């Protein structure tokens, strides 16, 4: 994996995803984005939650634009909420079925992209198994085409992180000062990395990661998260508990004794959840594996906001798409004037 990582770019993501005057033009990572910009995404998403509660859910912000969903990896929630988000912004959306596309006949990633660009596409939503794939594409597409990262390898999943921030903000009255624990397979999780950057920038009091040593990345403290190997200690006084799936498809070696052993130590049960604050919320990006990282009594219980996260995903994706498209247009018009 990681064959597409451009270290230069990944060290300075702002250069690629922001316009000269600091507006979003692609959305590749939460790393390096200011609290103001992250808050603007959340505020814009909040306004789209109210438009979706109306009888007519559509707004015309992307009317006449063409969005292409380009998923090289499987997805249920992310792909369908991006599709609904594009439709609710009045865009046309093309869902490419990669399994049936020419990629399986040996076409390169950029050749696929350039062909789709030739169909007058305005935005690509990209999920790819290689870390850095979305950056790589964003650096090479035609200037007015926006790239939204829907998950690249184990690197980043920024829209998931922002829908998680919106969930915390709406259910816990803000992110500043909150203690948040992320539990399980942190090592392979692009979601956890994107969440940690966003939580630190938005002023969470403490970000904890809980799991076996084999599933916690070595650089986790440098990212601003505090490692815990004991679930009960890690959950003590938490406001938010985020569970993650064991991402076996990304595990190259045997990193776990067994699923049963993992559940015993790190699976979220009602008994373990009792160590967190009584009003703590339980989150999970999905797909959940019942009885592996979370028991059904908790997943379906009163503290779970897992399905709310899915609903907020549409509003967050609408916000990011609308902001990136508007950033592209402003960049274009300032270049024309220059």
Instruction: Based on the shown chain and the rule CB under 6 A, indicate whether residue 149 belongs to the binding site for ligand NCD.
Output: no
Site for ligand NCD in 263-322 (CB under 6 A): 285-286
**Which one, of 292, 173, 316, 301, lies nearest residue 243 by Cα?**
292
How large is the angle between the packed helices 35-52 and 158-172, nearest 10 degrees? 70
* Minimal distance, residue 217 CB to ligand NCD, in Å: 15
- Centre a 10 Å sphere on the Cβ of residue 184 and count the other Cβ atoms it contains: 29
Rounded Cα–Cα distance for residues 179 and 29 (Å):
22
Per CB under 6 A, 178 contacts ligand NCD: no
211 binding ligand NCD? (CB under 6 A): no
Side-chain half-sphere CA neighbours of 207 within 13 A:
24
Start-end of H helices in 26-184:
35-52, 77-88, 109-117, 133-140, 158-172
In the complex, the smallest distance separating the C-beta of residue 119 from ligand NCD, rounded to whole angstroms, is 26
Q: What is the DSSP letter of 158?
A: H
* Phi/psi at 263 (5° precision): -60, -40
Residue 103 tokens, joined: 């990629």
Q: Which of 245, 281, 295, 331 lies at the binding interface for ligand NCD (CB under 6 A)?
A: 245
- Smaller CB separation from ligand NCD, 35 or 129: 129
Tokens standing for residue 286: 């999905």
Nearest distance, CB of residue 333 and ligand NCD, angstroms: 34
- Site size with ligand NCD, rule: CB under 6 A: 11
Which position's Cβ is nearest ligand NCD?
245
Considering beta carbons, is residue 145 or 162 the nearer one to ligand NCD? 162
Residue 285 Cβ, how far from ligand NCD at the closest point, in Å?
Answer: 4
Beta bridge partners of 283: 242
Smallest distance from the beta carbon of 77 to ligand NCD, in angstroms? 5
Sheet strands side by side (includes 123-128):
92-97, 66-71, 123-128, 146-152
Residue 227 or 286 with smaller CB distance to ligand NCD: 286
Q: Which of 247, 308, 311, 326 binds ligand NCD (CB under 6 A)?
A: 247
- Residue 77 binds ligand NCD (CB under 6 A): yes
By CB under 6 A, the residues from 180 to 209 that bind ligand NCD are 190-191
Applying CB under 6 A, the residues found at the interface with ligand NCD are 77-78, 151, 157, 160, 190-191, 245, 247, 285-286
């Amino acid at each position: 994996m990681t064959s597409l990582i451009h270290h230069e770019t990944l060290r300075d993501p702002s250069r690629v995803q922001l316009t000269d005057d600091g507006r979003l033009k692609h959305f590749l990572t939460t790393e390096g984005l200011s609290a103001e910009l992250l808050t603007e995404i959340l505020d814009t998403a909040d306004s789209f939650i109210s438009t979706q509660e109306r009888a007519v859910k559509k707004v015309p912000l992307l009317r006449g634009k063409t969005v292409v969903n380009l998923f090289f990896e499987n997805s249920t929630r992310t792909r369908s909420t991006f599709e609904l988000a594009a439709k609710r912004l009045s865009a046309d959306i093309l869902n490419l079925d990669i399994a049936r596309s020419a990629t399986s006949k040996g076409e390169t990633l950029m050749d696929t992209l350039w062909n789709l660009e030739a169909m007058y596409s305005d935005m690509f939503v990209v999920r790819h198994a290689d870390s850095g794939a979305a950056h790589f594409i964003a650096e090479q597409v035609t200037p007015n085409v926006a790239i939204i990262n829907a998950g690249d390898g184990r690197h980043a999943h920024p829209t998931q992180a922002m829908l998680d921030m919106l969930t915390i903000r709406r259910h816990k009255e803000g992110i500043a000062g909150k203690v948040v624990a992320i539990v399980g397979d942190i090592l392979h999780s692009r979601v956890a990395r994107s969440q940690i950057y966003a939580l630190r920038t938005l002023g969470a009091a403490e970000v904890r990661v809980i799991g076996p040593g084999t599933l916690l990345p070595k650089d986790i403290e440098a990212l601003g998260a505090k490692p815990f190997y004991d679930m009960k200690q890690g959950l003590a006084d938490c406001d938010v508990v985020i569970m993650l799936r064991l991402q076996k498809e990304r595990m190259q070696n045997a990193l776990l004794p067994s699923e049963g052993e993992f559940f015993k130590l790190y699976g979220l049960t009602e008994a373990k959840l009792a160590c967190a604050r009584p009003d703590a919320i339980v989150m999970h990006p999905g797909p959940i594996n019942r009885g592996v990282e979370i028991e059904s009594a908790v997943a379906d219980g009163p503290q779970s906001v897992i399905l709310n996260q899915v609903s907020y995903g549409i509003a967050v994706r609408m916000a990011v798409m609308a902001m990136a498209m508007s950033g592209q247009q402003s960049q274009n018009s300032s270049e024309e004037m220059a």
